[in-house]
Amino acid sequence: MKPSTLAAIDIGSNAVRLLINHVEVNGNGCTFKKLAYLRVPLRLGEDVFTQRRVSDAKTARLVAAMQGFSHLMRAYAVAEFRACATSAMRDAANGATLITAIREKTGIDVEIVSGVQEADLIYAAGAYVPQTALRDDDACLHVDVGGGSTELVVYADQRMRFHGSFQIGTLRMLNNVVEAAEKKRFSRCLKHLHEKYAPAYIVASGGNINKAHKILGKKDSTPLQFKELATLCASLQALSFEERMRVFSLNDYRADVIVPALEIFLEIGKTAPSLLGVYVPKIGLVDGLIKDLCKKRMARAECAGAA
What are the start-end ranges of the E strands in 27-139?
29-40, 80-85, 110-112
Average pLDDT, integer, range 292-300: 82
At residue 283 the predicted structure's pLDDT band, cuts being 50, 70 and 90, is confident
CATH of domain 4-116+286-306: 3.30.420.40
- State the pLDDT at residue 138: 81
- State the pLDDT at residue 253: 94
Beta bridge partners of 261: none
Helix 258-271 × helix 180-197 angle, to 10°: 50
Q: Which residue has the higher pLDDT, 153 or 299?
A: 153
- State the pLDDT at residue 156: 86
- State the pLDDT at residue 131: 61
8 Å CB contact between 124 and 288: yes
The H-assigned helical ranges of 83-179 are: 87-91, 95-106, 115-124, 170-174
Fill in the amino acid letter for 262: L
Average pLDDT, integer, range 273-287: 91
Please work out, in degrees rounded to the nearest 5, the angle formed at the alpha carbon of residue 128 by the alpha carbons of 113 and 28.
95
201-248 tens-digit pLDDT: 999 999 999 999 999 999 878 899 999 999 999 999 999 999 999 999
Fill in the amino acid letter for 285: L
23-68 tens-digit pLDDT: 987 766 778 899 999 999 999 999 999 999 999 999 999 999 999 9
Residues of the chain with CATH 3.30.420.40: 4-116+286-306
**Rounded distance between C-alpha atoms, residue 15 and residue 54, angstroms:** 13
SS3 state at 286:
helix
At residue 122 the predicted structure's pLDDT band, cuts being 50, 70 and 90, is confident
**Among 132-141, 176-185, 241-250, which stretch is predicted with the lowest mean pLDDT?**
132-141
**Among 106-115, 157-166, 195-204, 262-271, which stretch is predicted with the lowest mean pLDDT?**
157-166
8 Å CB contact between 122 and 142: yes
Name the CATH topology of 128-282.
Nucleotidyltransferase; domain 5 (3.30.420)
Res 307 pLDDT > 60:
no
**Rounded distance between C-alpha atoms, residue 33 and residue 251, angstroms:** 27
State pTM to two decimals: 0.89
Residues of the chain with CATH 3.30.420.150: 128-282
**Rounded distance between C-alpha atoms, residue 93 and residue 129, angstroms:** 39
Q: What is the DSSP letter of 13?
A: S
